[in-house]
Structure 1
């Protein structure tokens, strides 16, 4: 029978969650384990419990909301996303996948259908890297790409550790968060596109075939400081100028990688001593580099490192290179995409296949089970800003497609 998600209820919940923010509307800010984050988590669990769904959490703070199936011995089908938000963000990134996933579960329960497999909604901890400088912390730990010992070493910008920040309800053994492959039968994530393609083409649904591989690295440049007026140009060892040249080398490596999907971003630069009349003796730079082609990305990274070393040798500046993370791309499940594509036809939605150039928790869930993503259009492709927006119609279609896809997968 057709599933009928309650879209007015979902829209009301999206609007309410946007008010749980450290910054006033329309901006949304919810940083990991902040007061706003903990309030949002408690509210989400109350919604789930009011719907008669089972809830639990793990020791990193991932939340699990379960609609039991008729055969609980089988691995569950899962969906989910995140509710944390970078400072001055919008109301839809991640949140549509969590609250849309909750509405999908409720619509299945309210239809009277009992799936064979249980269906589980996951609210992942810290998809955004705001607190600890690494994204997808919860799903990384589930997939085992970051260990409990490595997680214990994490520090926020104020030097506070994960162990110090974890609330009492998440005080269990961090090692127990790791799952084995096959723990879920399938995973599918609903998300706004965060790009302009669907809206520009007038297409309802994007079915993601591949998720780009992210790498992040931190470079520290140590030069020689001095008085801006007293040290002549030929004798300088300016840490910032070495960093600036390296930033341009990042751009060149991305443009000349040979892959159309390569992107490189120098998003952080810190210069010391930070005085207008003092030559920079220290510069710290953080770079995000991504591609769907792992070979092209890694070749570009080698090129960047060689360029940075050459630049620093020429300028007499010391270089320290630290790799924050380097992850392979994910190929999405053709089985899940075929099921979703069939339902788009049944529901009279238009769809297309897409690549996700942003990475998501799906990138790490793909290490545990067959995984795919459903994208819906967002205004002008804007995201991570207060005017981020996805229309009620787009949200309704994405949530309805998710519900039907989950129910079909749970019948297998």
Structure 2
């Protein structure tokens, strides 16, 4: 029995309308590369115009903030209560899917529309947000809009350029933002944030659980390791006389997989590590590799585990280089972000809502990055995952069931009502106390 059927009369929103909007927005795509709607592109702007019309039809006032975020707003009855944000992103990766990010925006739209049509004005204002450029953009930066809203978009980043030479600041202005007044995008009135997203993994589907309540969004570290050996003839150089940088890379890849598998079982939360880039030179069939380069992607719910892993990787790569008689590996930490913790109180409200609506749920970490990771810097934030078929994402085959999406939206809708009733603004501030 599907999640929506089990909800029955408890369904607070229109599942068919949510689905119809989702499929309609998916038609705004590059025909030869479904489903592609890259940030800052003409199709992206067309998709936002479509969203803005829907926002207005749902009774919301619509604006684009200085950071380029599209925002629809339902005013609350108490101007001191603060704002509840619901949203995600409408941009896609090349040849992406119809659900990643977009489902969160459409679910937020349906929640606001249902509140408006029911004539239910909350004490808090409610905003539906399409965050600008959550996916890695042509400017080499992701989560542009949520960075702007949380004060994390820097002047240096505004000077990043795309392959055509356009500056990021110019592109933000082109889609309606105002990079000269970027501080205006930073929010101090937000008291809670909610985001619905497909899981992008197969845990919920395999375990036949309706929803995932996100405990944390992993921190991501990337380390570049370069080995310098000596290129030699592959046929005439004895095995005992080689200085094979390719072998060093292979041994490192094996270590990463083995060590990550063990660290994932420590009970310190979600942990994975991947050697997604492995390059060697001269990359010829009849030449012993003289140089190799690896980039290791490390994702952890507990940042201390990342630090331990990097220290072990450093020690192991030095030992490999010594064993093979090649130069000391050259290391570069490309990035290292802290995990973002979701709010326990909001997650409890979501779990209570799931129980009251007859839905099963489990707590889980997000192994992918999301706008919510930045929003946790300004307000209590929470995420709800819905199952997606075979865990597929960032591909045209990406798929989530209508009823799963409706169930996730229904739980957020119910949790927002709970939050609106049980929180009171602190005297003299816009912050909520639970």
- Length-normalised TM-score, structure 2: 0.81
Distance in 2 separating the partners of 1:224 and 1:37: 49
Contact 2:280 2:292 in 1 (8 A): yes
**CA 1:279–1:93 in 2, change beyond 3 Å: closer, same or farther?**
same
Distance in 1 separating the partners of 2:181 and 2:319: 41
The corresponding residue for 2:431 is: none
1:199 and 2:205 equivalent? yes
Equivalence map 1:1-400=2 (5 Å): 4-22=12-30, 24=32, 27-129=34-136, 131-145=138-152, 147-149=154-156, 151-152=157-158, 154=160, 161-163=167-169, 165-168=171-174, 169-173=176-180, 175-176=182-183, 179=186, 182-220=188-226, 240-257=246-263, 259=266, 261-271=270-280, 276=285, 283-312=292-321, 316-317=326-327, 319-400=329-410
Considering only aligned residues, what root-mean-square deviation do their CA atoms show, in Å?
3.2
**CA 1:227–1:378 in 2, change beyond 3 Å: closer, same or farther?**
same
Q: Which moved more, 1:273-282 or 1:31-40?
A: 273-282
**CA 1:126–1:277 in 2, change beyond 3 Å: closer, same or farther?**
farther
Gaps of 5+ in 1: none
Q: Which moved more, 1:287-296 or 1:51-60?
A: 51-60
Q: State the shift of 1:386 in Å.
A: 2.0
Distance in 1 separating the partners of 2:82 and 2:362: 29
The number of aligned residues is 409
**CA 1:318–1:121 in 2, change beyond 3 Å: closer, same or farther?**
farther
Distance in 2 separating the partners of 1:235 and 1:242: 15
Contact 1:54 1:65 in 2 (8 A): yes
The corresponding residue for 2:430 is: none
Distance in 1 separating the partners of 2:67 and 2:250: 37
**CA 1:398–1:47 in 2, change beyond 3 Å: closer, same or farther?**
same
Distance in 2 separating the partners of 1:272 and 1:263: 28
Q: State the shift of 1:389 in Å.
A: 1.3
Larger Rg: 2
Distance in 2 separating the partners of 1:365 and 1:215: 20
Contact 2:72 2:127 in 1 (8 A): yes
Contact 2:58 2:112 in 1 (8 A): no
Distance in 2 separating the partners of 1:385 and 1:49: 31
Residue 221 of structure 2 aligns to a residue whose secondary structure is: strand
Q: State the shift of 1:117 in Å.
A: 0.9
Per-residue CA deviations over 1:51-104 (Å, capped at 9, x if unaligned) read 331222234422222111122333201111122222232211111111111111
Contact 1:222 1:239 in 2 (8 A): yes
**CA 1:236–1:31 in 2, change beyond 3 Å: closer, same or farther?**
farther
Residue 209 of structure 1 aligns to a residue whose secondary structure is: strand
The corresponding residue for 2:3 is: none
Residue 351 of structure 2 aligns to a residue whose secondary structure is: helix
Contact 2:65 2:185 in 1 (8 A): no
Distance in 1 separating the partners of 2:147 and 2:388: 27
Per-residue CA deviations over 1:293-325 (Å, capped at 9, x if unaligned) read 221121102222333344456554575433333
Residue 348 of structure 1 aligns to a residue whose secondary structure is: coil
Contact 2:225 2:331 in 1 (8 A): yes
Contact 1:242 1:315 in 2 (8 A): no
Residue 87 of structure 1 aligns to a residue whose secondary structure is: coil
Gaps of 5+ in 2: 1-8, 424-434
**CA 1:67–1:317 in 2, change beyond 3 Å: closer, same or farther?**
farther
- Length-normalised TM-score, structure 1: 0.85
